[in-house]
Structures are given as C-alpha cells and as structure tokens.
Chains A and B, each alone.
Chain A
C-alpha cells in the first residue's frame, strides 16, 4: 500500500473537501502465520528498524508486534533531546551517524518530525569539570563533530535568562559551557508516527495490541518464531527492541542481560511565552531544561537511584531537580508544574547500549539505551536493521555487542564502572 504524499498541494486539495478524505496513516492488519523477520516492540527503535529493513535491505515481509500502541512507552515519555557530543570514539561515530539521519529524516519520511537544531549546551561548574569538558570538546572536534566552547559571558549572551551564579547565588558558579549547535530537540510522537507510516507504506505489518508471550525454538535452539496473545507467528529472525522491559522479554529466551531497570523523571510547567531557545544541561547540578513549542518549560534530572518499574517517580528527585532548576533559572521559580512522570530505563553496566546478536541463533537484541535512547532512534534502527538483514553487525555497532561484557571490553563513557545507577 502506497501512502498519499504529504505536501502543500495535498493540504490545499483536502482543504477543498473539508479535510474529510485523508487516508489513515497506517493499516491495522491481522497477523499472518509467517514472516521473514519479526520485530518485537513498537517504540521508535522497533519502528525505525522495520522501516530500514524494508527500505534499505528489501525485506518487506516484516511484522512489527507491539503490546500496547505504537510510541506509547519511552518514545512518548522522554525529553526529546538529540545530540552527539560524546567522548569515546564508538559513541561519537554511532551518535553522529544518528544525528546525520535526523537531519534528513523529515524529508526521508515525508513526515515533519519537527527536528529543531537549537544547540545543546552543557555548563561547567568546577575546574575539574572544565578540564574534562574541554577534553570532550577536543575529542568531538577530532571526530569531526561540531562543538563550541563558550566563556561564561558568551553563555550569558546566548542564554540571557541563565543565572551564572558569580554573585554567590550558586555554590558552584558557571565557569564556561560546551555547546553543540547541531544538537536540539524533535517531536517525539511524530518520530514514531513517521517511521510507522513509512514502514507501513513499504509493506511492514504493524500489529498493535499483540503481546509476545514466548519464543518458538527448534530442537537445536534456534528461533523459529514467537508465541503471542493472538496466536503463534513464524519467522527465522526475531529482533527485540522493547526498552524498559528488555529483561522480561529476553528471559523468555533464557538470555540474561547486564541491565538494571531504573526510573528517570521528567516535568513540564504551565506554558509561558518563549524565553529559552536552547537545551541547557548541567551534570554538576543534575538537571536539564528546554522550552517546548507549546511554551511549557520541560525539565529532567538524574535517575531516582534504585531498581524500579513503577512509572511514577519519587519525591526526593522532584525536590533535587526543582531546586537546581530554580537556582540556575530563577525566573521559572513561580511557575506551576503541570505534569510529572517517569519512564523505565534499561541501565546497562557500562552506560552504553547493546545492538547485536545474542547467544540464541536467529534472535537479535537492541536495548540498554539508558536515558539516551531518543536521539539514537534513527541510528539504532539503521544499525539493527543491518545486523538482522546481514546476520552481522555494521562497523558502527560492532562494539555494542552483548558479549563485550564477558570480555570486559566495556564502553564506559563516564568511567563510572559497573554501577548502572551511576551512568
């Protein structure tokens, strides 16, 4: 089925008939008995994987199975930041590839994902942080990634509402900042819908309300399909991208993961007039801030700090994030919170994701995105599709294997050691 192209002309045409004749963006097919590939999980990563499998690898007999509705998990719960300001080469190459895909995504998908490259700025508050950030700046430039180092005065000119704290109002005043101008934000729902519509147009069956309840295995152990609440479905290759519940799904195939599930909270305020046109984050004070297109102030912080699947969040973290935010942006101190929520993060033991093969032949895994999965959506789908289609990882995800932990070949961007809550 080929979707109608979205364009100014289509908009004008449908305006003449009162917008009553738009086609649905995706079909709602019944599952077939057999596919070439099954992708489990209808978040951004799963949908992007299905799209790139069909588009780049010519595999059209693909079923995407989603327990709830597409984009209803962490894809719909995150703070939409896109960046590639990493230190380690593996991360830099992968996330920069993803950022480049973001830059062409709206036109590739014919769906406006509202990608806004408004700069992602990290502030430095101590001499040690200044040095490590300068090191990261140099690494970024050597890897061909855009970066700017801003003095405190330059930061104040770029972000007038920020409190540098040099009058003693911050315990650790802002000394300087690292900016990635090509970083920014995107519309999270549009990413899910755009990839879903693109995949559907290429023949992928997106099956919602279909929960995987087990894996079908041959005598020699290889995957032959999945069991679902809507009956068994066969396929010789199954890719799992179910962030948040990776451990539960992979346990059905007897695969143990180096992952703990933790909560990350986010908050939005009542909407106000535009005053902040960048993303600002601080590692020292544990919070980040941006303003949405609707005018809401969007905040996030650090992890709640202990294993949890409760998508609520706890009070101490609300207090920490709010106090840090009102110190650095005193002008938001009288805003009211409108909503607060939490998502379940797959926190890996080195803070980096896993995209690749598993010990079970035919079963592939994409997960462990910690709290940075949103920006990775196009790159992750692109690499995971390559891995599933060819049976081997692409050079961009060759380091992000599951078995790297057995070799202690970890990719520990922060140098925090095997402590998931510390990444």
Chain B
C-alpha cells in the first residue's frame, strides 16, 4: 500500500487516488507537429526501472492532479507537487 503525501490533504492511502501514468509526456504543438511526434505522444512512455515521474489524481480527496517521483522497484515516494505548478 502506497501512502501518498498529498500537499493539500496530507498522507492518504493509494486507494483514494487514480493513476495517470508518465508525467513527462507533453502534447505536441497542433499547428506544427509531424505524424511521428503525435504517435510518440500517444503511444510512447518512459518505463524506467527506478525513479519515475508520474501523475496521480486525488479523486477521493481534493481532486488535485499530482506529479509524484516514485521508485518503480522499491515503491519509495520522493518529491510530490501539484501538477498545476508546472503550468504556471
């Protein structure tokens, strides 16, 4: 069981969250992108054995989208921040 330290609600069990996958995927510029860039956007993901930047939605809590750094072998959680901080 992951205990995810939500910056808004505090530590909460993983069952309150929905997983959103690789946080480093960026939507290409619609006016200026190739088919290859769109295919990579839809189908290619980072899949590291170790530190992984990933999205989680606190769906049974504050509804914030979070970006969490988690180790995919030990499941230890490193940094946690609200995803909207990246967009500002």
Contact = CB atoms under 8 A, between A and B. Distances in A.
Interface stretch (B37-45, B58-66, B78-86): B37-45
Given A314-B2, A316-B14, A309 B73 contact: yes
B49 to A, nearest CB: 5
Contact of A256 (B14, B44, B75): B44
Contacts of B49: 245, 247-248, 261, 309
A307 B47 contact: yes
B58 to A, nearest CB: 14
A314 B21 contact: no
B36 interface: yes
A398 B39 CA distance: 20
Dominant secondary structure at the B interface: mixed
Interface string A81-110: 000000000000000000000000000000
Contact of B72 (A256, A261, A420): A261
Interface residues of A, number: 27
Contact of A310 (B14, B44, B74): B74
A257 B47 contact: yes
A134 B15 CA distance: 33
Interface in A255-292: 256-261
Given A307-B72, A310-B73, A315-B1, A259 B47 contact: yes
A305 B2 CA distance: 12
Contact of B1 (A248, A307, A316, A407): A316
Contacts of A260: 21-22, 45, 47
B54 interface: yes
A149 interface: no
Contacts of A256: 40, 44
A338 B68 CA distance: 34
B29 interface: no
B50 to A, nearest CB: 8
B42 A418 contact: yes
A307 B52 contact: yes
A420 to B, nearest CB: 8
A45 interface: no
Interface string A224-256: 000000000000000000000101100000001
A306 B19 contact: yes
A258 B22 CA distance: 12
Interface in A286-310: 305-310
Given A405-B43, A406-B39, A314 B72 contact: no
B39 A408 contact: yes
B69 to A, nearest CB: 12
Nearest to A311: B73
A315 B15 CA distance: 10
Contacts of A261: 47, 49, 72
A258 B43 contact: yes
A54 to B, nearest CB: 33
A349 interface: yes
15 contacts: A256-B40, A257-B44, A260-B45, A260-B47, A305-B19, A307-B47, A308-B75, A309-B73, A310-B73, A314-B1, A314-B2, A349-B45, A405-B42, A407-B39, A418-B43
Would you list the 6 A-B pairs with minimal beta carbon distance, nearest first? A258-B43, A405-B43, A306-B19, A247-B47, A406-B39, A315-B1
Interface of A: 245, 247-248, 256-261, 305-310, 314-316, 349, 405-408, 418-421
Given A308-B75, A314-B1, A419-B21, 20 more contacts: A256-B40, A258-B44, A259-B45, A259-B47, A306-B54, A307-B47, A307-B54, A307-B72, A308-B73, A309-B72, A310-B75, A314-B75, A349-B45, A405-B39, A405-B42, A406-B43, A408-B42, A418-B43, A420-B21, A421-B19
